[in-house]
Amino acid sequence: MNARIKFAVVAALLAIGLSACGERPQVVQYKQGTYSGKPDTPPWDNARFGGNKQAWVDAVNNRAQSQNEYKSVN
Amino acid sequence: MARMKFLCDAERCIECNGCVTACKNENETPWGVNRRRVVTINDGVPGERSVSVACMHCSDAPCMAVCPTDCFYKTEEGVVLHDKDMCIGCGYCFFACPFGAPQFPNGPSAFAARGKMDKCTFCAGGPEENGSKAEFEKYGRNRLAEGKLPLCAEMCSTKALLAGDAPVISDIYRDRVMHRGKGGEAWGWATAYGRPENANEGAKEQKREGAK
């Protein structure tokens, strides 16, 4: 009887103690291209782009091309 | 979809600190807060290199992982932002960040007098109304909502600092390396920037580098 109680106590302690050793992901699970977080308005949701995401992407990508002087010179 | 990134070409950076000045002026950051800075390796020695560093808007950002109040978030276009109303100024993000991006302006916060964390927003503001006064005061200008890129990159005199959608700026950098004929010898070049259609040029370039 005594041994049973001891066994039960040890088993319970082990279960509680080892429960903290589980491998859980420590990093944020971020899925590329999806929004994750606080309420915030996307940059295309305004009067200029009128919610047209593709128009915004095109505007930014066009602007990025001004950083390529090989294109602007040649 | 856009995945906003910075890329600094150390072959071109002349350590003028124009990016640092542009950022400070555009976002009106307080004394002691430099969202961007220029780091020089082997200063004064022939072959010295400078690189402009700020928040790199990591794909798997460690600051987001360690923040106890979960104040960080990632926008659809891949910009890492944070909510200053939730920040307690604990400084964990500063220790986690490999680039030293989080800055603390000194001021009231839950932990000591560090103040609420401030960092580069890729000129994308924060979780306030786009272009509002509150957004500007807390996070600085929101240029992305105006269809513009971060001012640090747009102001860069030698175009060493590139900003924009990752594939677009990779293409610009790849073009540049192919034209100038160096830079592609870096370890991992083929993986990062190589493309099947450029394979021959890459091989020629390697041969040229080997012959030197």
| A58 at interface of B, judged by CB pairs closer than 8 A | no
Domain count, chain B: 2
Shared domain check, B195 and B95? no
Can you tell me whether residue B100 is helix, strand or coil? coil
Residues facing residue B5 across a β-bridge: B164
pLDDT band at B196 (very low <50, low <70, confident <90, very high): very low
B33: domain CATH number is 3.30.70.20
Shared domain check, B12 and B53? yes
In a domain, B160, yes or no: no
Q: Is A25 exposed, middle or buried (0-12, 13-18, 19+ CB in 10 A)?
A: exposed
- Taking contacts as CB-CB distances below 8 angstroms, the residues of chain B near A49 are 147
The one-letter amino acid code at B188 reads G
Shared domain check, B71 and B52? yes
The pLDDT assigned to B175 comes to: 86
Mean pLDDT of B197-201: 51
β-pairing, B4-8 vs B161-165, is antiparallel
Q: B51: part of which helix (H) or strand (E)?
A: strand B49-53
Shared domain check, B201 and B137? no
Shared domain check, B192 and B150? no
Q: Which of B60, B76, B149 sits opposite A60 (nearest CB)?
A: B149
In a domain, B161, yes or no: no
Domain boundaries, chain A: 41-74
| B72 at interface of A, judged by CB pairs closer than 8 A | yes
Shared domain check, B65 and B25? yes
Left, alpha or beta for B191 (phi > 0: left; psi -120 to 50: alpha)? alpha
Q: Which of A33, A43, A61 sits opposite B164 (nearest CB)?
A: A61
Domain boundary among B155, B179, B203: B155
Q: Which of A26, A48, A61 sits opposite B146 (nearest CB)?
A: A48
Left, alpha or beta for A62 (phi > 0: left; psi -120 to 50: alpha)? alpha
Per residue of chain A (74 residues), give pLDDT as tens. Answer: 688 999 999 999 988 887 777 666 655 566 666 676 677 889 999 889 999 999 999 999 999 999 998 887 65
pLDDT band at B188 (very low <50, low <70, confident <90, very high): low
Q: Write the pLDDT tens digit of every residue in B82-116.
A: 999 999 999 999 999 999 999 999 887 777 788 89
pLDDT band at B208 (very low <50, low <70, confident <90, very high): low
Distance CA A63, CA A66 (A): 6
Shared domain check, B184 and B147? no
Buried b / exposed e along B64-100 (16+ C-beta atoms within 10 A) = bbbbeeebbbbbbbbbbbbbbeebbbbebbbeebebe
In a domain, B38, yes or no: yes
Count other C-beta atoms under 10 Å from residue B166's C-beta: 16
Mean pLDDT of B119-131: 93
Averaged confidence pLDDT in chain B: 86
Domain holding B206, by residue range, is: 166-211
Asked if A67 and B169 come within 8 Å (Cβ–Cβ), the reply is yes
Residues whose CB falls within 8 Å of the CB of residue B74, separated by 6 or more in sequence, listed in order: A28, A30, A35, A36, A37, B61, B64, B80, B81
